[in-house]
């Protein structure tokens, strides 16, 4: 029996992971689940799956969970506070940790799981974008096994020669190609995109995902973050990672070899496939995902990304090329801008403008240690809030001028 901890269990990836695990009770034992403040959902998961440990990072929510469950906790030990997720990530009973917390909040527990030598199933792409060199070093030093969950990187991993390990460049690879659905605004005009609402941005045509990554897909920042992620995972420079728009989301990504071969991984757009692959690796097991009917699929389309309508992609590529702490500023500014967009404090094009301005004003340089990463993250968040406030102030002044 393999012991598993699921961090971010109340989210989209977390719930898909619990679904896959529940299909294989003879193979996996759920040791721990953790989230931030979703009291009701975590309580339901505790009652249903009976893990040994459950944690909420938010201390008030952890207290509310304790009150909500009372004696119905059974044998589940409840933990609370941000460090409780790191505690879960390093439990000796768990060999395998699913890192599925969204955003920079996932960094400490992801690093802890790597240092503790776990089989690390990495969905939290932001931790790799922020601290790629540090996370890869923690994986090496801790003797961890890093398996990508992002469907694109999981697809690439499946297309690489057997025995490839994260961080080393596999022999014979010319480049990797990340496919992108293009998001909900793929065929929208620049004018329509400028007026896009949060509701439209989170309505992804092919995938069911959390709100933040759904907006990242709409801006194409998700593909930019994935490009940076791919550079670290596969030991490649940014110019050997290409992006192609593939609206059907059937090919999840491709690897091009120097002999002209192009290997692709295909499947229904359902995250339970990469999750099951990483849980069972190097074996295979069922995932509950519908099998692909190629005749019904009929056609697969490809086109180049449009960098004018979707400037976030170019901004992310520039940050990848700059390296050092630039991806940290990119990630932090993006998180703040997306949050402001979802709260209707910023319009859709404002996301790219804020990120660009933050990167220009940031003083971040080369990456030394974790302290540098955290300082660059804090600075970029402060700058992003300043930009958003300045834009809101300018909008008020403009509309007052128009009324006058």
Residues that bind ligand NDP (CB under 6 A): 8-14, 35-38, 57, 85, 100-102, 105, 123-126, 150, 207, 209-213, 271
d(CA 288, CA 246): 24
Q: From 284, 238, 374, select the one nearest 24 (Cα to Cα).
A: 284
Provide, rounded to whole angstroms, the least separation between the CB of residue 123 and ligand NDP: 3
Provide, rounded to whole angstroms, the least separation between the CB of residue 390 and ligand NDP: 26
The residue (of 45 and 391) whose beta carbon lies closer to ligand NDP is 45
Query: Which residue's entry shows tokens 């801008």?
Result: 337
Query: Which residue's entry shows tokens 């509950």?
Result: 288
Crossing angle of the two packed helices 151-159 and 221-234, in degrees rounded to 10:
30
Provide, rounded to whole angstroms, the least separation between the CB of residue 9 and ligand NDP: 6
Give the H or E element holding residue 174: strand 173-180
Q: Which two tokens stand for residue 396?
A: 């008020």
Provide, rounded to whole angstroms, the least separation between the CB of residue 197 and ligand NDP: 19
Instruction: Give alpha helix (H) positions in 143-244.
Output: 151-159, 190-194, 198-202, 211-219, 221-234
Euclidean distance between the first and the last CA atom of the chain, given in angstroms as a whole number: 72
The residue (of 79 and 102) whose beta carbon lies closer to ligand NDP is 102
Provide, rounded to whole angstroms, the least separation between the CB of residue 195 and ligand NDP: 25
The residue (of 29 and 37) whose beta carbon lies closer to ligand NDP is 37
Q: Residue 177: CA atoms inside 13 Å, Cβ hemisphere, count?
A: 20
Whether residue 114 contacts residue 144, with contact meaning beta carbons closer than 8 Å, is answered with yes
The residue (of 24 and 211) whose beta carbon lies closer to ligand NDP is 211
The residue (of 11 and 183) whose beta carbon lies closer to ligand NDP is 11
d(CA 126, CA 230): 12
Provide, rounded to whole angstroms, the least separation between the CB of residue 47 and ligand NDP: 17
Residue nearest to ligand NDP (CB): 11
The residue (of 8 and 224) whose beta carbon lies closer to ligand NDP is 8
DSSP symbols for 225-258: HHHHHHHHHHT--GGGEEEEE-TT--EEEEEEET
Q: From 336, 328, 312, 316, select the one nearest 365 (Cα to Cα).
A: 328
Provide, rounded to whole angstroms, the least separation between the CB of residue 129 and ligand NDP: 10
Spatial CB neighbours of 390, under 8 Å, sequence gap ≥ 6: none
The residue (of 206 and 392) whose beta carbon lies closer to ligand NDP is 206
């Amino acid at each position: 029996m393999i012991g598993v901890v699921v961090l971010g269990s109340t989210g989209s990836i977390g719930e898909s992971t619990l679904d896959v695990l529940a299909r294989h009770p003879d193979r996996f034992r759920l040791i721990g689940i953790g989230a931030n403040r979703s009291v009701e959902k975590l309580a339901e998961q505790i009652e249903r799956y009976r893990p040994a440990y459950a944690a909420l990072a938010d201390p008030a929510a952890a207290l509310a969970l304790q009150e909500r469950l009372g004696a119905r906790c059974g044998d589940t030990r409840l933990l609370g506070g941000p460090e409780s997720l790191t505690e879960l990530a390093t439990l000796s009973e768990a060999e395998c940790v699913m890192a599925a917390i969204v955003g920079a909040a996932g960094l400490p527990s992801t690093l802890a799981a790597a240092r503790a030598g776990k089989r690390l199933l990495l969905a939290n792409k932001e931790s790799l974008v922020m601290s790629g060199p540090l996370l890869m070093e923690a994986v090496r030093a801790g003797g961890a096994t890093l398996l990508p969950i992002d469907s694109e990187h999981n697809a690439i991993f499946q297309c690489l020669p057997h025995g490839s390990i994260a961080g080393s460049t596999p022999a014979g690879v010319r480049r990797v190609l990340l496919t992108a659905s293009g998001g909900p605004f793929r065929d929208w005009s620049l004018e329509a995109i400028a007026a896009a609402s949060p509701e439209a941005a989170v309505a992804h045509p092919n995938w069911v995902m959390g709100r933040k990554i759904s907006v990242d897909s709409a801006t194409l920042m998700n593909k930019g973050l994935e490009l940076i992620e791919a550079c670290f995972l596969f030991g490649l420079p940014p110019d050997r990672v290409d992006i192609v728009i593939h609206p059907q989301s059937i090919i999840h990504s491709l690897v091009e070899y120097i002999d002209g071969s192009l290997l692709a991984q295909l499947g229904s757009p359902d995250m339970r496939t990469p999750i099951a692959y990483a849980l069972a690796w190097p074996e295979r097991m069922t995932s509950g995902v519908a099998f692909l009917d190629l005749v019904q699929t009929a056609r697969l389309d490809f086109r180049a990304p449009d960098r004018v309508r979707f400037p976030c992609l170019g901004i992310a590529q520039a940050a990848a090329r700059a390296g050092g702490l630039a991806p940290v500023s990119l990630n932090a500014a993006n998180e703040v801008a997306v949050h402001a967009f979802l709260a209707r404090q910023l319009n859709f094009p404002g996301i790219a403008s804020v990120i660009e301005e933050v990167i220009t004003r940031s003083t971040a340089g080369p990456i030394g240690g974790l302290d540098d990463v955290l300082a660059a993250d804090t600075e970029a968040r402060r700058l992003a809030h300043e930009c958003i406030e300045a834009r809101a102030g300018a909008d008020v002044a403009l509309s007052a001028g128009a009324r006058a």
